[in-house]
Amino acid sequence: MKILQKPFTAKEKDTIEVTFDKPTKVLLIESSQFTRYKKGLTYQYRGGKAEQSPVTFTVPFDGIWHAVIEKGTYTNPLEVTGNAKLIPHRYDTLNGSEQTGAAKRQVEEYDDTLD
């Protein structure tokens, strides 16, 4: 089977967006599972048959992830083009942790101007 694939070093909550021009199978596979996929063994993945582009995946944990677009099968090849990109998760504070609604309001209301 022919595929288009692109590896990403991604962190938990990052987004990987995959675009393609025809309905096809779109997968997100962690690196160790991708090795199994290439060998034709059973593997774990996210995704499946996709009718509309783009498809977005939220990365569940830190690691190397492969965005895969399958180009049909050996007996029924499909001419498909596509691309994938990593969209880093955006944090709301300087220390890298997410804020609750109350914490956001406190930051917005804080005034550090001198009198």
* CATH annotation of 3-105: 2.60.120
What is the band of 107 on the pLDDT scale with cuts at 50, 70, 90? very low
For residue 91, the model assigns a pLDDT of 67
Judge whether 57 and 47 are in contact, CB under 8 Å: yes
Single pTM value for the model:
0.76
Q: Which two tokens stand for residue 58?
A: 């939220």
Res 47 pLDDT > 90: yes
> Considering the chain, what percentage of its residues have pLDDT values greater than 90?
69
pLDDT in tens, 21-41: 999 999 999 999 999 999 999
Alpha-carbon distance of 17 to 32, in angstroms, equals 21
